[in-house]
Structure 1
Amino acid sequence: RDTNIHIKFVTNTTKESRKTLHERLRKIGFELEAHEIFSSLSAAANYVEKEKLNPMYLLSEDARSDFGATDPQRELDAVVVGLAPSEFYYENLNKAFHLLIANKNNRLVAIHQGKYYKRKDGLALGPGAFIKGLEYAASVNSVLIGKPNEYFFKSAIPEGICPEECVMIGDDPNDDVAGAMKLGLKGIQVKTGKYLPNITVTEQPTVIVENFSEAVDWIIKSNLN
């Protein structure tokens, strides 16, 4: 901010609403406003509203608060899936399966297809496996909303700003870095979080650094502003 670089915190997190994310980040010392947070939930809620969908949600209760109410007078016409471990049980997934095969126009909306995420006890299975399972069983293709989809990054960039003027810092080489670079952003890979040194990457990052602090220093020194 001191160098006049605008900041946006973008995340594929689908367990927490923007309000909860904002409160948590403030508690650990981040100085930011709620409007500076853009999550895949934000992008998905915009998509549901734009497409006038009436979905079944496989989301946590908190994440669900970022979306409008389901209309009980209308048939359900979509399944929206995020990271919701407590929702991924057989009866729920079977209900989603039946909804998808009931009408060929019903949509499977994948907020993101992460293979895994990091918890205190290590890496844990992400929503991608459940989304792929529904795709396979119902013979449908999901609509991907979150990273690494181009839709997500386009939605996060303010109007009037070119992708080439932006840089993405991330710990996931494919969802964060490669996804952003495909749209034209520069991509900085940090060796923290869920970074694994031997993972196969779809695109080489602009630069690899040890941590977030080094990423910020690189941006300032590169005069990207």
Structure 2
Amino acid sequence: MARGVLLDLSGVLYDGNTVLPGAIAAVLRLRAARLPVRFLTNTTRQSKRQIVAHLQRLGFDCAADEVFTPVAAARAWLKANSHQPHLLIHPALEEDFADCRMDGPVAVVLGDAAERFSYEGLNAAFRALMAGSPLLALARNRFFRDRDGELSLDAGPFVEALEHASGIKAKLFGKPSADFFLAAAASMGLDPADLAMIGDDAESDTAGALAAGIGTAILVRSGKYRDGDEQRFQPAPSAVVDDITAACDLILAAQRD
């Protein structure tokens, strides 16, 4: 029985500016059952401020401290290791790094930079890596469902390109990093085994959660889900359902048993 719930955002709760059917009601049902909720996203085309505002604008009941992005963990690493960031990120994300130190050794920080993934931008990051900088990956998802409804390249292929060229393995801060899931669990004061994760990505969301020790991981057939995803990655999801409503039905039914 889950005592808390981790929710992916895009593809589970909303698609661009459209709330997915039943999503707002599902979050309210979880809260009514006194289940703490955390919103986990690898999205790096928006700052945390923008993500929280977007959720609230769409009608979701959420607070800033309930939203987890990879940026906070990357910033903590930079501070603890006295590095300044060499940013290869989307312009909207720059505000989250505005107060980072601008002296000391350099660390390459890579997110979904969209049009900034130019040869010039990638080569500047590559040269920094070859000079000894570490590579901090905010996410390494392969693709995402874009606003036009089609799949688009995410940060992962560019992380792997720089890893291949430089021979340097990236430090990962977003899903499926175990630390990312464990930080959300710690914020609720709960054991990871007492949590359920709901996501549309069989690799980063459900397999990543289970590998991190999350007790239950439910894959929804919305967002980026493709037929057969549940068989492509291990550990396999605990359950596969049509949408967020069905996922909440499973969680709440287990509470009643």
- Aligned residue for 1:57, secondary structure, equals strand
Tell me, what secondary structure is at the counterpart of 1:117?
Answer: strand
Correspondence for 1:154 = 182
Shift of 1:68: 4.3
> For structure 1, which runs of at least 5 residues remain unmatched after alignment?
none
Structure 2 counterpart of 1:128: 156
List aligned pairs for 1:41-80, cutoff 5 A.
41-72=71-102, 74-80=103-109
Letter in 2 for 1:223: Q
- Which of these residues, 119, 124, 129, is aligned with residue 95 of structure 1? 124
Distance (whole Å) between structure 1 residues aligned to residue 165 and residue 104 of structure 2:
21
Q: Could you list the per-position Cα deviations for residues 138-166 of structure 1 after superposition, in whole angstroms to 9, with x for gaps in the alignment?
A: 11111111111111111222253100111
CA distance in 1, matches of 2:185, 2:96: 20
Q: Does the 8 A contact of 1:14 with 1:111 survive in 2?
A: yes
Once the two structures are superposed, residues 7-65 of structure 1 have per-residue CA deviations (whole angstroms, 9 ceiling, x without a partner) of 01011111111110111111111011111111122222222222222110111222121
2:39 alignment counterpart:
9
- Count of residues in Structure 1 that have an aligned counterpart in Structure 2: 222
Which protein has greater RCO, CA pairs closer than 8 Å, 6+ apart?
2
Q: Percent identity?
A: 33
Q: Aligned ranges for residues 1-225 of structure 1 at < 5 Å?
A: 1-72=31-102, 74-103=103-132, 106-121=133-148, 122-159=150-187, 160-185=189-214, 186-199=216-229, 200-223=232-255
Structure 2 unpaired stretches of 5+: 1-30
Please give the root-mean-square deviation of Cα atoms over the aligned residues, in Å. 1.7
Answer yes or no: is the 8 Å Cα contact 1:76–1:99 preserved in 2.
Answer: no
How far 1:189 sits from its partner (Å)? 0.5
Given the two structures, how large is their TM-score scaled by the length of structure 2? 0.82
* Off by >3 Å, runs of 4+ in structure 1: 68-72
